[in-house]
Structure 1
Amino acid sequence: MIRIEDTDRVRILTLDRPDALNAFNEALYDATCEALIDAAADPGVAVVVITGTGRAFSAGTDLVEMAQRNSGTFANGKHGFPGMVDQLAVFPKPLILAMNGLGLGIGATIIGFADLVFMSTDARIKCPFTSLGVAPEAASSYTFPALIGRQKAAWVLLSSEWIGAAECVELGLAFKAVAPDDLMPETLRHAKILAAKSVASLVESKRVLLGALGDQLDQARARENEAFRVLLGGPANIEALTAFAERRDPDFAAVDAKATTPNPDAAS
């Protein structure tokens, strides 16, 4: 589910569901959350690196479990998505991503909580929220405009289009794009430079950096949670998940047309 390795005060967390493209089910959300809690409390850990196994960094939330949530047969984990995002938002030590492959959903919006992002030149991201009939998540409605500006963030968050590694660097979503074989060596080279510093200094430096955000992250997440409450399980979301299961493109125009068609019974 998740592999943990320590080297020179750097803790590497490797998402390990390659058959599911490292998609986050409740078990992986819980395991990652617990790993972040442990790393934050461990005085021997100065820096954390998150990467993935196989050809994906993470395909985001497991759509099978999303469909189960809509059907009422879903069992929440101990921490789940909200708990993991809580830990990302308050993680006190430098957090680095080594994005080895595709990142969708939380596999992309996690960028907003990272202090440094390295991407394989083969990697690409997608924020697929509008293609799933839902809304942005994980405070990305705040973090992405803060990182890259409103118009660029609007395209990334609203288009559900793929964004390649080179474009992520150009936009400001990633620090560097490197050849696949160089991804972990280059990431760890930077991580070990940071890890050689005082942990107390790193923590306080990150604290003052994040302090400038104030309560903007919490406010963004509250707005996003309300949008998800309205949209999750709604007609567009059901059409998107049905289309995914049937291996076809969703027909949102038909959903929208049905929503705006007057109900003849309503007038009687």
Structure 2
Amino acid sequence: MEYKNIIVSKEEGGIAVITLNRPDALNALNAEVGKDLRKAAEILKEDDEVRVIIVTGQGRAFAAGADIKELKDAGPCEAREWARALFDSFDALGRMPKPVIAAVNGIAFGGGCELALACDFIVASEKAKFGVPEIKIGVFPGAGGMYRLARAVGMRMAKELVFVGDPIDAKTAQDIGLANRVFPADRFLDEVKSLARNIASKSGITLRLAKQALNEAQDSPDPEGVYRDIDAMGVAFSTADQKEGMAAFVEKRAPRFVGR
């Protein structure tokens, strides 16, 4: 599959890398980027060879946010349609049954930060910067970002980030719970791929069940979320990978998972 604004590569160890590829525009997000992301998500979802997906940016930016040139003359209806289309692009990754890692290599502002938040978790280069500066131009994160930001860092911190609009560095992002890990810039992608391969070495079906259970638990009141965990455990014990994993543990050998 050919894409205009992204590069999709499959690598050893069951990982795929989606790279935003508009470096001259700091990987700013527009309608065409959104279409490419949705299409890539659809294809990778069905690819049994891919167990973990990394999203990153080409050049010195992860994504600088929305392409303002595309938006500046929009009216209310056009803006709503644009925001919904961008949300759908992010949600295609957010609802992916496989783990998705945001590898933030540089600036992740506005829509770029929203894209990172749509992934399962964020790892950052030491040179990364995060921000939701839309308040400075009379708008705010409108593609699901405020909802996801509040869930990631808590309501009070989310309000400060949105109301002030100033960027934060990678260490601060890690301290407030926005980024899980920070890696040195000179070996950033190698470290991310190593982490991804670690995850991909696990049972694919168990990863999907665990992700589904975690996502549903987050949206469920107690004790419903606990019951969902229990149900998922029952499903896990119906799989060949559960039998193989426990047999390998008892026999003191590496498991050979088959994804079913």
Corresponding residue of 2:207: 202
Note the residue ranges of structure 1 that are not aligned, 5 or more in a row.
217-268
Corresponding residue of 1:22: 27
Q: 2:37–2:89: 8 Å Cα contact kept in structure 1?
A: yes
Q: Secondary structure at the match of 1:69?
A: coil
Corresponding residue of 1:157: 162
Q: 1:111–1:173: 8 Å Cα contact kept in structure 2?
A: no
Corresponding residue of 1:2: 6
Q: Residue 63 of structure 1 is aligned with which of 60, 63, 68?
A: 68
Corresponding residue of 2:45: 40
Structure 1 residues 113 and 73: alpha-carbon distance in aligned structure 2, compared to 1, 3 A threshold = closer
Q: How many Å apart are 1:83 and its aligned residue?
A: 2.3
For residues 178-226 of structure 1, give each alpha carbon's deviation from its aligned partner in whole angstroms, at most 9, with x where no partner exists: 211121111111100111112111111100111023389xxxxxxxxxx
Q: How many Å apart are 1:73 and its aligned residue?
A: 9.4
| Whole-angstrom distance in 1 between the partners of 2:205 and 2:101 | 18
| Whole-angstrom distance in 2 between the partners of 1:70 and 1:50 | 31
Q: 2:132–2:140: 8 Å Cα contact kept in structure 1?
A: no
5 Å-filtered alignment, 1:233-248, equals: none
Structure 1 residues 43 and 184: alpha-carbon distance in aligned structure 2, compared to 1, 3 A threshold = same
| Whole-angstrom distance in 1 between the partners of 2:87 and 2:150 | 21
| Whole-angstrom distance in 2 between the partners of 1:122 and 1:86 | 27
Q: 1:118–1:183: 8 Å Cα contact kept in structure 2?
A: no
Q: How many Å apart are 1:68 and its aligned residue?
A: 4.2
Q: How many Å apart are 1:138 and its aligned residue?
A: 3.2
Corresponding residue of 1:138: 143
Count of aligned pairs = 214
Structure 1 residues 110 and 176: alpha-carbon distance in aligned structure 2, compared to 1, 3 A threshold = same
Corresponding residue of 1:214: 219
Corresponding residue of 1:251: none
Amino acid across the alignment from 1:5: S
Corresponding residue of 2:258: none
For residues 110-163 of structure 1, give each alpha carbon's deviation from its aligned partner in whole angstroms, at most 9, with x where no partner exists: 232222311111110110221121133333323222222221111112211011
Q: Residue 51 of structure 1 is aligned with which of 43, 53, 56?
A: 56
Percent identity between matched residues is 29
Amino acid across the alignment from 2:97: P
Q: Give TM-score, length-normalised by structure 1.
A: 0.74
Structure 1 residues 215 and 65: alpha-carbon distance in aligned structure 2, compared to 1, 3 A threshold = farther
| 1:100 and 2:105 matched | yes
Note the residue ranges of structure 2 that are not aligned, 5 or more in a row.
222-260
Q: 1:22–1:56: 8 Å Cα contact kept in structure 2?
A: yes
Q: 2:87–2:144: 8 Å Cα contact kept in structure 1?
A: no
Greater relative contact order (Cα < 8 A, sep 6+): 1
Q: Residue 116 of structure 1 is aligned with which of 105, 118, 121?
A: 121
| Whole-angstrom distance in 2 between the partners of 1:80 and 1:103 | 19
Q: 2:111–2:141: 8 Å Cα contact kept in structure 1?
A: no
Amino acid across the alignment from 1:4: V
Amino acid across the alignment from 2:7: R
| Whole-angstrom distance in 1 between the partners of 2:16 and 2:121 | 15
Q: Residue 81 of structure 1 is aligned with which of 69, 83, 86?
A: 86
RMSD: 2.3
Q: 1:129–1:158: 8 Å Cα contact kept in structure 2?
A: no
| Whole-angstrom distance in 2 between the partners of 1:22 and 1:152 | 26
Amino acid across the alignment from 1:38: I
| 1:193 and 2:198 matched | yes
Q: Secondary structure at the match of 1:57?
A: strand
